[in-house]
Amino acid sequence: MTTSETSNLDILQQQDPDVYAALKGEEQRQKSGIELIPSENYTFPEVLATLGSVFTNKYSEGYPGRRYYGGQQYTDQIETLARDRAKAVFKCEHANVQPLSGSAMNQAVYLGLLEPGDTIMAMDLSHGGHLTHGAPVSHMGKLFNFVRYVTNPVDGSIDYDQVRKDALEHKPKMVLCGYTSYPRDIDYEKFKAIADEVGAITMTDASHFGGLVAGQSMRNPFDFGFDIVTTTTHKSLRGPRGGMVLCKKEFASKIDKSVFPGLQGGPHMNAIAGIAVTLKRAQTQGFKDYAEQVLVNSKTLADELMQRQASLITGGTDNHMMVVDTMASYGLDGRVAEETLDKVNITTNKQIIPDDPLPPLRPSGIRIGTPAATARGMNEADMRQLGEWIDRCLRSPEDEAVLGEIQGAVETFCEKFPVPGL
């Protein structure tokens, strides 16, 4: 840590001991537990430095070279760096790095390229889609006519025959793929062929696996002719909280106008500085190795759980996450499973499974992912150990002795793996 950061923390401690104490508590929580929520990660130390920097003081409405306020020589530099690096990393023609987060990024795409009432095909929330993919409780779900596709009950993969049938029937203006809880890769060729048949725009929301596309361990939708790819920057990419819209040149001007002034005002330049440094990291061999290890770890953990007779949705994983049917495996609903694992410092999240008979706050499963654990340097042997702990916990949720023993073991284990930036 530099002296100025240390002194800023000293000032925080003096000025506001309550917030300081919570910050220290959260640091300790992140150090002494294993983070397995698939959408979370530990960002790079240099990202923490940019987020707490003077870029947070600056208003930069507009885009580099065309701003509504003066004093933009350095903000223009970092936004241009971020955009150029995004284009290089994702092999695309245009990048907008201003969306304030993932939800705003998707809203900007729909509102910029479509008219209210237009039809969009996207994955159903309960089968793995995101809230912003037209869930009825979301504003977007009310503004646009979403047709939701599901997974097939046989192997749990997306039912492409049904997607095609629905597309021919409903003639969507946009076909959207991407997920928040789906342990398989996407068949981009099939989606593209279906969209072409009905003349729809193709969009992938790569929020969860954007870092794995960047690190080249998962396929890039642009290699299959996709028009738009969106991704959050804080999940597998390990950057600051934010979103990016990546697209073909023909959509560039509509996307830029939709983000600003259509949807947002001033961009968060401290976050954009963080995105720039993240995308520099993403071009290194170290990041490629990281992305590969995330997948190896995910497969290893899934394998360990299945060897112990846990039931995984789709019977495994092709990506960084798995969904465990805790009801079928252990007779525990997802809430109890999540709370039991919390007791031993293993953080997961309860998760609805396809056609879940149980309600969202007490669903049938949990979701587990490896991006954060891998960022701390955990490998295959560590995943096998984790699998054993998870399985033992969920088999004895009431046994305080077992839980206490595992909690102690997890804390000791965590000491071997420093949290990046701490």
Ligand X SMILES: *Cc1c(COP(=O)(O)O)cnc(C)c1O
Positions annotated as catalytic residues are 59, 61, 205, 232, 235, 241
Phi, psi of 119, deg, nearest 5: -95, 135
Task: Give yes or no for residue 268 binding ligand X (CB under 6 A).
Answer: no
Q: Name the residue nearer to ligand X (CB basis): 106 or 314.
A: 106
Task: Give yes or no for residue 180 binding ligand X (CB under 6 A).
Answer: yes
From 50, 96, 207, 319, residue interacting with ligand X (rule: CB under 6 A)? 207
The 3 state secondary structure assigned to 52-106 is CCHHHHCCCCEECCEECCCCCHHHHHHHHHHHHHHHHHHCCCEEECCCCCHHHHH
Helix 17-32 × helix 400-414 angle, to 10° = 100
From 33, 102, 215, 387, residue interacting with ligand X (rule: CB under 6 A)? 102
- Contact in structure between 233 and 243 (CB atoms under 8 Å): yes
Q: Name the residue nearer to ligand X (CB basis): 53 or 101.
A: 101
Residue number closest to ligand X, CB atom: 102
- The residue type found at 362 is R
Task: Give yes or no for residue 370 binding ligand X (CB under 6 A).
Answer: no
Shortest CA distance to 315 belongs to which of 154, 127, 125? 154
Stretch touching ligand X by CB under 6 A, among 160-168, 205-213, 301-309, 356-364: 205-213
Binders in 2-61 for ligand X, by CB under 6 A: 39
The whole-angstrom separation of Cα 212 and Cα 228 is 17
Q: Name the residue nearer to ligand X (CB basis): 62 or 215.
A: 215
Task: Give yes or no for residue 132 binding ligand X (CB under 6 A).
Answer: yes
346-347 and 34-35 strand pairing: parallel
Task: Give yes or no for residue 232 binding ligand X (CB under 6 A).
Answer: yes
Stretch touching ligand X by CB under 6 A, among 72-80, 200-208, 248-256, 382-390: 200-208
Q: Name the residue nearer to ligand X (CB basis): 174 or 310.
A: 174
Stretch touching ligand X by CB under 6 A, among 95-103, 134-142, 218-226, 370-378: 95-103
Residues in the chain: 422
- Contact in structure between 367 and 181 (CB atoms under 8 Å): yes
Shortest CA distance to 86 belongs to which of 326, 252, 325, 224? 252
From 53, 101, 157, 264, residue interacting with ligand X (rule: CB under 6 A)? 101
Stretch touching ligand X by CB under 6 A, among 16-24, 173-181, 247-255, 295-303: 173-181
How many CB atoms within 10 Å of residue 95? 24
Phi, psi of 213, deg, nearest 5: -70, -45
Place of tokens 């793995």: 128
Q: What residues contact 28, with CB distance under 8 A and at least 6 apart? A: none
Question: What is the smallest separation between the CB atom of 74 and ligand X, expressed in angstroms?
Answer: 26
- The residue type found at 136 is P
The whole-angstrom separation of Cα 99 and Cα 103 is 8
The contact pattern for ligand X, residues 282-321, with x = CB under 6 A and - = no contact, is: ----------------------------------------
Stretch touching ligand X by CB under 6 A, among 5-13, 102-110, 162-170, 188-196: 102-110
Question: What is the smallest separation between the CB atom of 176 and ligand X, expressed in angstroms?
Answer: 10
From 148, 208, 268, 320, residue interacting with ligand X (rule: CB under 6 A)? 208
Q: Name the residue nearer to ligand X (CB basis): 108 or 346.
A: 108
How many CB atoms within 10 Å of residue 396? 15
Task: Give yes or no for residue 107 binding ligand X (CB under 6 A).
Answer: no
Q: Name the residue nearer to ligand X (CB basis): 321 or 390.
A: 321
From 83, 85, 127, 130, residue interacting with ligand X (rule: CB under 6 A)? 130
From 79, 205, 256, 333, residue interacting with ligand X (rule: CB under 6 A)? 205
Q: What residues contact 409, with CB distance under 8 A and at least 6 apart? A: 389
Contacts with ligand X by CB under 6 A lie at: 39, 101-103, 106, 130, 132, 178-180, 205, 207-208, 232
